[in-house]
Amino acid sequence: MVKISGILSINNAVYLGYPFIEAVLSVLPIVDEFLINDGGSDDETPIYLKKLQKTFPNKIRLFNKSFYPSNFWEAVDNSLNFLINKAKGNWLFEVQGDEVWHEKDILKVKETIEKASIEGYNSIRAVLQWINFQAIDPYKYRNVRMVRRIKDLKSHWCGDDFRTANTEKEGPTKGFTGSNIPPELVTNLVYFNLGLDIVFPGNTIERARAHVTFLARAQEERRTMLKILESLPLQRQEPNPEVVKKLPALIQGLAGFSKYKVRDELFDKKFLKKLTGITYK
């Protein structure tokens, strides 16, 4: 029988502008448990995590393994590996703080995990689609967010790459970015990555600085990006209603925000069912 553990590693999500509550809620209906590690937030993130746990006490498990200064996201990977070892499920569903799944697809995702488990696959590739509230980027690639919890499984590169002891020195599967947990099931399932620099411009500089000063200090392209962002007039753009209505219902209500803020209604199960059409237990 398939048991699914959701995992998320996060730190100062409110201050840095990650829609982490929406990210968790987008997959919560199909997981048996959801493990979240807070890397040492000193903003409102812990308050909302505890509120989420209070709303879903049978699913949300909270941990506090501290992040540390790292050169290439090692602190995040260390946190994810900690959660992998704590998980009880035989499949893992990794969620990142700026990624949301559409409510119309999420039950199909569960069916796909069950299919992959029966047919002997160890990982599942889905289409990552970049979006904001003005446009949907036509460029797509497939990434791994669902993986069987096999022996020696480890996260690399901030959760964008999974390996085992046998494949740790190998590159990604040919033709794809990240991960080497064969055999892979390649699908057309779609999940959405928010272009946060456009979506929440009020959080952009803080987030970029956190990356280059703490989590990815040796990643030169991040330093270059910070310099570019600091030179730009970062302003909220007017949402395109035609684009917004195509996006997951959980994030449509964020359209027009200059900074990310957690909405209290997201902790109301009746509201969530009305919004998404899915019963939250």
Q: What is the CATH number of the domain that holds 18?
A: 3.90.550
Measured distance CA(160)–CA(251) in Å, rounded? 22
Cα angle at 263 between 110 and 233, to 5 degrees?
Answer: 105
Residue 160: predicted pLDDT: 85
Range of the structural domain that residue 170 is part of: 4-276
Residue 260: predicted pLDDT: 96
Helix, strand, or coil (residue 185)? strand
> Please, is 193 exposed, middle or buried when counting C-beta atoms within 10 Å of its C-beta (0-12, 13-18, 19+)?
middle
pTM of the model: 0.94
Helix and strand element counts for the chain (H, E) = 11, 10
Residues forming beta bridges with residue 140, ordered by sequence position: 129
Q: Is residue 215 part of a domain?
A: yes
Position 166, amino acid: N
Q: Is residue 281 part of a domain?
A: no
CB 187 within 8 A of CB 124: yes
Measured distance CA(84)–CA(280) in Å, rounded? 24
> Please, is 198 exposed, middle or buried when counting C-beta atoms within 10 Å of its C-beta (0-12, 13-18, 19+)?
middle
Q: Is residue 40 part of a domain?
A: yes
**What is the total count of domains within the chain?**
1
Measured distance CA(96)–CA(272) in Å, rounded? 20
Residues forming beta bridges with residue 9, ordered by sequence position: 37
- Given a cut of 50, the residues of the chain with pLDDT beneath it are none
Q: Is residue 219 part of a domain?
A: yes
Position 257, amino acid: F
Residue 50: predicted pLDDT: 98
Structure tokens at 45: 């993130």
Q: Is residue 213 part of a domain?
A: yes
